[in-house]
Amino acid sequence: MKEREESLRKVKDEILNLKDSPLYAERVENKYLPVIGEGNHSAEIMFVGEAPGKNEAKTGRPFCGRAGKVLDELLLSVGIDRKDVYITNIVKDRPPSNRDPLPDEIALYAPFLDRQIEIIKPKVIATLGRFSMQYVMNRYGLDFELGVISRIHGQVFSAKNFKVVPLYHPASAIYNQHLLPTLKEDFKILKAV
Ligand code: URA
């Protein structure tokens, strides 16, 4: 257990010192923090979002803003306690003006996600949104199963060491009210897995 804590601390320290990142200047300019990840270090379920929003970058905590409220509601709807899961993003710093992460940014930060997965060893990875779906499925041998999120959300895919369940991003339910019932159904599948 101690080893796991130490490995995660090392990941954290490296991200804190990631001065080569094109997003590092955003931290300095806006007094933003990197968002490393939060939750149970032996979690069976790991949620992987896209990149921190403004609230997240201000606090250093993942999914603590509006999308986080939706995520909390979804977890509650199926009786999963937020403190039992681990929540992180592919990109650990906030892209300016909430834009989508760029391929170079994903390439730079993804190895930290890979290490978090290797250390925590979740049984299920729930990807939130298409960026994490594409990255995780491509990286872990499920590229042949990839499709548009509107088709493959809520399906369960088996990678070598864990299952992958692609989900819509919780923020999508803020703009598209009809996606909330879909997300709730998908969370039931996640709970069953
Ligand atoms: N959106 C994300 O993808 N991640 C967060 O942490 C918050 C909003």
User: Which ligand 1 atom minimizes the distance to the CA of 87?
Assistant: 6
- Alpha carbon distance 192, 48 (integer Å): 19
User: Which ligand 1 atom minimizes the distance to the CA of 128?
Assistant: 3
Which percentage of the chain shows pLDDT scores above 70? 99
The model's confidence at residue 98, banded by pLDDT at 50, 70 and 90, is confident
**178 phi, psi to nearest 5 deg:** -70, -10
Domains (range + CATH), the chain: 2-192 (3.40.470.10)
What does the block give as tokens for 63? 């999914």
Substitution candidate for ligand 1 out of 50, 58, 135 with most atoms within 8 A of CB? 50
Average pLDDT over residues 181-187: 97
> What is the CA(66)–ligand 1 centre distance, in A?
9
The model's confidence at residue 28, banded by pLDDT at 50, 70 and 90, is very high
Measured torsion, CA atoms of residues 64, 70, 76, 78, in degrees rounded to the nearest 10: -130
Average pLDDT over residues 97-106: 94
Average pLDDT over residues 55-69: 97
* Contact predicate 11/112, CB 8 Å: yes
Average pLDDT over residues 96-118: 96
